[in-house]
Amino acid sequence: MSSSDNDQTRTQSPSEHVAPGGALIAHYDLEKEQIVHVSGTEDAPRALLLIRQQGRNLDLLDVSPASEVGIAIKRWEASSSAPERAQRQWKKGGGHTLSASVILCTTGQSDLLLPAVRAILAQEHPNFELIVVDNAPSSGLTR
């Protein structure tokens, strides 16, 4: 990777400001070495990329611009924290005594809402609630 790649791409903390104009949302499977796009395009100013291994979430990368996702993945794999994060995975059944609240925020009607709700409800955790929040309730489009 050249120094110009380092200068042009930066990985942000997920808590940083959301770039205007949307974001590419995707996940990367370490075993398959495959990026799966959920929504958005590579010309977006930002990408949110979930790193997964064996069906478990390892990390969330916030990449700017979205077209540099490949570089961000290479950096993540080369970082000293990548193997450590892979070892910190939740074990099946871990945390089964904990309750959880999942808050799903939306604005109006979205083609991603129903699949997201189905995916959340398919979780195996024995004690969780799902709260769907419409951030544009005056539209009346979210069902």
**pLDDT by residue, tens only, the chain of 143 residues:** 333 344 344 444 443 434 345 888 999 998 899 999 888 888 999 999 999 887 778 889 999 999 999 999 999 988 866 666 666 656 677 777 888 899 998 877 777 788 889 988 888 788 889 999 887 666 665 55
pTM above 0.75, yes or no: no
- Co-location of 79 and 112 in the same domain: no
Place of tokens 């794999």: 77
- Co-location of 9 and 54 in the same domain: yes
- Co-location of 28 and 59 in the same domain: yes
Asked if the structure places residue 14 within a domain, the reply is: yes
- Co-location of 22 and 47 in the same domain: yes
- Co-location of 79 and 127 in the same domain: no
Number of domains into which the chain is organized:
2
Domain holding 113, by residue range, is 100-139
- Co-location of 75 and 133 in the same domain: no
